[in-house]
Structures are given as C-alpha cells and as structure tokens.
Chains A and B, each alone.
Chain A
Amino acid sequence: MEKQNDKKVHFSFGEVFQNTKSFIDKYNNRQTQLTQKLNANHRATAELIIRLYLKQLNKAAQIGDLNTNSLPGFSTFNESLAKCKGCTKRTIINHKERLKQSGFITQDEHRGKGGVEIWLNREVLGTAKLSTNYGDNVLKIGDATSIFYEKAKNFHPLVHEHQEQLNNNSSVNKSGVPYGHESGKATRTKHEQDKNTEENANPASKRQEKAPERHCKAEKQEQKPGAGRIFLLSLIRQFWDYARKVLYPDLVLSEPEDREILNLIWESVYGKLQSNATEKDWLKYQDTAFNRVNMVARWLARSPGHWIPKPHIYFHPNNERNGFKKTWQWYVKQETLKIEIRNQLLLQQVKAEWQQHEQNKGRFRKKTRLQLFRIQQKRLAGYRDESLNQAYQQCLQRSLHLQNLKRKQQAYAQ
C-alpha cells in the first residue's frame, strides 16, 4: 500500500505480499481444474517479481515524484529473473504466461536487448479503487445456489473404502428421478429388474424382501431436512412452464418429450435436487432461475442473430457450449456488479458523512466520532456483507490517515 509522506510514495512490502497472496488464493478458488490453478512455483515467481518491482518503485520514489495513477512497469530481463530464482529462462516465460492468464500481470512488453517490461495488477499494488468484491459472490446470492459449484474431479480415496455395489438397474433408492423412470413407463419393462436376480418366482417372497427397502426409503425421506419432494417437483414444472412460455412460445411437444425435458431440467437446472436447502431457499433460487430465463429472453430480443437450441439440447446437463447452464455465469456477473455498485454507493455515503462531520456540517454534526462510527457500523451491518465491512474499515483507515496527514501538513506549515 502506498503511503504519502511529504508527497513521497512508499510501497510496503508486507502489504503488497499479502495482496499478492490473497489475489492468487482468490484466483485459485475460482478455478475448478487443478491444472488451471497457480501452484507454489508460480507463487514464488510472482513474489520474486513483486519483491524486485517494489525495490525499483521505492528507489524511483526516492529520486523523483511517482504518480500512483500511472506507475512505470517493472523493467527486467528474463535471464536475470531466471538466475535469481534458480531456474531456466523458459520456466520464467511459462510462469509469466500463467500469471498473465490469471490477471496478475496485466501487460508485458518485449524490448529485445532492452529486456522486458511488466505491468502488474493495481489490486495487488493496493493502488486500485476500494473493492468490496471479496469472498464468494455465489454464496451471497443464496444457499440453494451451491449446487452450481462446479465440482472438481473426483479423486480416488487414498484409503480403499469398501462400498456396496450399486445396482444401476434397480429402481430401489432412485428416489431422485421425478418423471417417468420410476414407473418403468419409459422402458416398458416393468418387471425387468427382477429378471436377472435369481429370485423366487413367488411374489410373496418379493414382498418380504421389498418391504424393508421401502421402510429404509421412508426413513431416509424423514431424515432429509430440506423441502418436500412434491413442492420441489412443482418448482421444476413451474420453471419449465415459464421457460416454455417465454423462450419457446410456438413449440408443440408430446407428453414423452415434455417428460424428458423436465428430467433434463431436474438434472441441469436443479442439480438433481441434491441440495439440502429449505423451501425458502428453493423459492429464492426459483426466482433466480426465472431471472435467468428473462435474461435469455432479453438477449434473444436484442438481435435477430441470437438463437438458442431446442429445449432437449438447451437444458441438457452436458451441453457446455450453448446450454442454459451458461446463464448462471451471466447471472453471477450481474448480481456481483449490483452488489459492488450498492457497496460503492454506501461507501461514498460514509465518506461524505465523515467529511461533513469534520467540517461540522450534515445531520451528524452534533454526534461524536465514536457515535458516528457506531451509526455507520450498524447501518452497514444490516446488509450482512462481510466484504462491505472490510471495505468500510479500509475506507475508515484511509480517511483517518488522510486527516492525520492534513493535520501534520498544517502543523508543518505553521
């Protein structure tokens, strides 16, 4: 973070290193695949760059005036970086590529014999605008949305876990399948599951065997803390009715096709209803789903060149290219932006209040500084946003620091 002391800029190593660490951590959290994450080696390169860059900057600040709005880039040579780190030049080039991909390096310029110049993200140097965009925005949107975390690859457990073999052909415990499959209607082989099990042909024996299973199922349903199954299935139907009305107004579908699409929606949009969210959360999620449909409708209306595939493709869970799944990213982006703007406005208001309070103006002029702090803290706590609180603290520290500086300057002038 820069410190203005007698108009001289100074970058503190500790804070910038912390920013670097949190930047890389944040980037890694966003990545789903292990190969896309930045590893310890990349971190080391980033820290090396930061260390040398700050050294350059602080030296430049001592010699002349440095403008924090347009900082010079980090001038170096790939060879010297490689020598410092004890690796080859190629490794440095590769690491730079990865860091550029992650947004840590914003720009780089090759100057042949003159070496390279690298510009780093302003967020890392602490010269960027106060951002309230910490943490996970998906969590802020709602609990049921956790089904949209893309799962990383399932690694085999280190210790062998003994598991009962699941019989995929059995209809038992497939309580998740909502339409058609349970009754065996789609396959038309209602008794097929029992054919290959060497069971007694006597139906009474089957009854004896199946009864405890049904009991288990009932127990499982009782234990499940989330919303009721019928309620959840009705949500899926509502969603499809709405999406059909908005996105496919002229589409005529037969019952089996309808059922197939409902199954696809159950899987791709509602994550097989595996989340243990409450009814309230699901309703909230339903609103987000409707919002996403509206976003798609707006996008379609924007240009005649925009199109979406047929519903069985559009809602297919494996459709990564042009499926409904992608709208989740749009939605998160939109909501993040909304939250960010709201937080920026709140911070602006807070800043203005402090400035007015200092000049004995505004509605809080009769309050003490502590009272004003408490009032603002209470107001911001109402939003239940940890990142907003953090940004508030930073904003407060900055404004207090500026006040101190002003006082010092005044004292110095006198």
Chain B
Amino acid sequence: MLSEQMQREALSKCIVWFYDGNVRTFYSLDKTHKRAKPNQALGIRRLEKMLMETFKGQWETAIVYENEPRGNELARFKRGARV
C-alpha cells in the first residue's frame, strides 16, 4: 500500500475488477529513483506488469486512468489482454 502522498503524486491509477468480486485501485510508481523525473509511461508499464504477472488470472477487467479528478482513460485490459 502506497502512502497517501505517493498516491497523490502518482500520475496514473489502475482500477481492477477481480473475479472474486473485489475491486481495488492501484497507483503507479513513476520514478526510477527518489529524485528522478516522473515518467508516466514507466508507471503504466509497471501497472501492466503487475496485472500480467502478479495478478495473472485473477482479474477480469482493469482500466488505467490519469490520476486526476475526471482523468482520461489511458489503457484498458480485459481477461489478460490489452484492448
């Protein structure tokens, strides 16, 4: 679980609907090190890796949004594949 500050600073977030009925939100880690320039693409890639490897076979849908109120959708995953 990320700290609240890190959640606020994240550039993207991922909402995951699991097969067991759970819905969880994950926030991206966009820096390679503490003082690095944030890289949104890196954060999205890491979220994708989490979905495809850590939670492989456990989720039905996952959507990555910009971490802003009314943020745009960035990527959508369905049953283990990016669509």
Binding site for B on A (CB under 8 A): 186-188, 252, 254-257, 259-261, 312
Contacts and interface: CB of A to CB of B under 8 A. Distances in A.
B44 interface: yes
Nearest to A264: B41
A256 B74 contact: yes
Interface string B39-65: 111101100000000000000000010
Q: Please provide the 4 A-B residue pairs with the shortest distance between their CB atoms, ordered closest to farther.
A: A260-B41, A256-B40, A254-B74, A257-B41
Given A259-B41, A260-B41, 12 more contacts: A186-B39, A188-B38, A254-B41, A254-B44, A254-B75, A255-B74, A256-B11, A256-B41, A256-B44, A256-B74, A260-B39, A260-B42
A252 B41 contact: no
Contacts of A259: 41
A92 B57 CA distance: 64
A321 B83 CA distance: 30
B37 A186 contact: yes
Q: From DSSP, what is the main secondary structure of chain B's interface residues?
A: mixed
A186 B30 CA distance: 10
Interface of B: 11-12, 37-42, 44-45, 64, 74-75, 82-83
Contacts of B11: 188, 256
Residue in B12, B37, B40, B41 whose Cβ sees the most chain A Cβ within 10 Å: B41
A318 to B, nearest CB: 13
B26 to A, nearest CB: 16
A112 B71 CA distance: 77
Contacts of B82: 252
Contact of B38 (A186, A257, A312): A186
Given A252-B82, A257-B44, A187 B74 contact: no
A285 B74 CA distance: 33
Nearest to A259: B41
Nearest to A260: B41
A312 B41 contact: yes
Nearest to A189: B38
B64 A254 contact: yes
Contacts of A260: 39-42
Contacts, number: 34
25 contacts: A186-B37, A186-B38, A186-B39, A186-B40, A187-B37, A187-B38, A252-B75, A252-B83, A254-B41, A254-B44, A254-B75, A255-B74, A256-B40, A256-B41, A256-B74, A257-B41, A257-B44, A257-B45, A259-B41, A260-B39, A260-B40, A260-B41, A260-B42, A261-B41, A312-B45
A196 to B, nearest CB: 14
B28 to A, nearest CB: 10
A252 B75 CA distance: 8
Contacts of B75: 252, 254
Contacts of A261: 41
Nearest to B68: A188
Nearest to B67: A188
B58 to A, nearest CB: 21
A254 B76 CA distance: 9
A334 to B, nearest CB: 33
A261 B11 CA distance: 18
Contacts of A187: 37-38
Residue in B11, B40, B45, B74 whose Cβ sees the most chain A Cβ within 10 Å: B40
Contacts of B40: 186, 256, 260
B37 to A, nearest CB: 6
Contacts of A252: 75, 82-83
A252 to B, nearest CB: 5
A73 B78 CA distance: 69
A287 to B, nearest CB: 29
Contacts of B44: 254, 256-257
Contacts of A188: 11, 38
Nearest to A185: B40
Nearest to B37: A187
A252 B82 CA distance: 7
Contacts of A257: 41, 44-45
A167 B39 CA distance: 20
Contacts of B41: 254, 256-257, 259-261, 312
Nearest to B83: A252
B52 to A, nearest CB: 13
